């Protein structure tokens, strides 16, 4: 596994690959017919499409902080759940990614959660040799948007299966939870842009330096195939709101040449978009190495 990295102003950026998995293609594309989405992402015999869990490590030269954005599904799944999602962490995993970049889990000072669905926060904790939950990043403060935390700890019936107690409780009991407001500024050049269509209070970390902008787009645009406006996930709690948020976000991204860091795309790491005749399309595909 060869991982990418770059420097953007005072920030050193490192790709963190935490594993691959598969999700139902119909759920990933909502009302879009399979005849359309399967041309770009062919499904397996169980109608699942390939996905990845790509996180981002940020080291700030200004503050010395080491931020980790999300941390994948973790290792707490039993065999049944691993088979359902075809979870594969043999080569891509947190440990290998950190080691390749020369970091340890102890180095992380802050974890910025986009949201707390299992494939974004499961790596926060693990079962130790005594089968007790332990924290993977013992020195980290956990940042969650307040409205999202309220939603995750008292979820609706539809979303409940994505907020697993074994993921949420260690965060709650850590004593290191920091609830932030929307558009929170972590430091100069690093902030969180909040959207509410996929789940209440999802934050998209935004890095700005030297007239360049990189946005970690999480589940607003999970893959490059989701760039067209109507291609919205069936998993989204409020799909019409996602449509509106996506339109506004992609307009800004196109006008300002933002780079969009994709968390779940198994093929593309970073994209840029353009707009033509009211339609958005991928204009360029990059990695951190050539940002």
Q: How many CB atoms lie within 10 A of CB 17?
A: 22
Give me the residue label for tokens 């990043």: 137
- Alpha-helical regions (H) of the chain: 25-29, 34-37, 79-85, 94-101, 118-121, 146-153, 165-173, 239-256
State how far the Cα of 199 lies from the Cα of 120, in Å rounded to an integer: 13
Confidence of residue 136 (pLDDT cuts 50, 70, 90): very high
Class of domain 5-290: alpha beta
Lowest model confidence (mean pLDDT) among 1-5, 23-27, 39-43, 164-168 = 1-5
CA distance 84 to 215: 30
Q: Which residues pair with 39 in a beta bridge?
A: none
Which residue do the tokens 């939603």 mark? 151
Q: Tens digits of per-residue pLDDT, 164-207?
A: 999 999 999 999 999 999 999 999 999 999 999 999 999 999 99
Residue 91: per-residue pLDDT: 87
Three-class SS state of 76: coil
Q: State percent of the chain over pLDDT 70.
A: 100
> Element (H or E) spanning 59, and its range?
strand 48-60
At 288 the three-state DSSP class reads helix
Partners of residue 275 on adjacent β-strands:
280
Give just the sign of the alpha carbon dihedral 106, 219, 178, 173.
negative
Instruction: Please check the confidence at residue 244 and state whether its pLDDT lies above 80.
Output: yes
Task: Encode pLDDT of 113-127 as tens digits.
Answer: 999 999 999 999 999
How much is the pTM? 0.97
pLDDT tens profile 62-76: 999 999 999 999 999
Question: Would the pLDDT of 130 be above 70?
Answer: yes
Whether residue 1 has pLDDT greater than 80: no
Average pLDDT of span 14-40 = 97
**DSSP letter assigned to residue 60:** E
- Cβ-count burial of 54 within 10 angstroms (0-12 exposed, 13-18 middle, 19+ buried)? buried
Query: What is the reported pLDDT for 207?
Result: 98
């Amino acid at each position: 596994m060869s991982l990418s990295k770059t420097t953007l102003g005072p920030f050193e950026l490192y790709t963190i690959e935490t594993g691959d998995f598969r999700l139902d293609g119909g759920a990933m594309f909502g009302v879009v017919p399979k005849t359309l989405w399967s041309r770009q992402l062919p499904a397996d015999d169980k109608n699942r499409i390939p996905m990845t869990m790509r996180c981002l490590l940020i080291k700030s030269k200004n503050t010395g902080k080491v931020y980790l954005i999300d941390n994948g599904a973790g290792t707490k799944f039993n065999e049944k759940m691993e088979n359902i999602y075809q979870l594969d962490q043999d080569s891509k995993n947190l440990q290998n990614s950190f080691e390749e970049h020369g970091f340890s889990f102890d180095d992380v000072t802050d974890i910025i959660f986009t949201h707390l669905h299992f494939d974004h926060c499961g790596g926060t904790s693990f079962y130790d040799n005594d089968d007790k939950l332990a924290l993977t990043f013992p020195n980290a403060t956990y940042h969650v948007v307040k409205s999202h935390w309220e939603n995750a700890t008292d979820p609706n019936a539809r979303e409940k299966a994505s907020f697993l107690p074994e993921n949420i409780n260690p965060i709650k009991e850590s004593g290191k939870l920091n609830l932030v407001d929307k558009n929170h500024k972590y430091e100069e050049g690093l902030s969180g842009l909040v959207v509410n269509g996929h789940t209440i209070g999802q934050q998209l970390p935004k890095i700005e330096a030297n007239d360049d902008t990189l946005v970690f787009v999480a589940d607003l645009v999970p893959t490059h195939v989701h760039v067209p406006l109507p291609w919205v996930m069936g998993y989204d709690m409020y799909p019409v709101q996602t449509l509106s948020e996506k339109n506004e976000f992609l307009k800004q991204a196109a006008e300002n040449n933002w780079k969009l860091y994709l968390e779940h795309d198994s093929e593309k790491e970073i994209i840029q978009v353009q707009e033509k005749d009211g339609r958005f399309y991928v204009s360029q595909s990059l990695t951190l190495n050539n940002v």
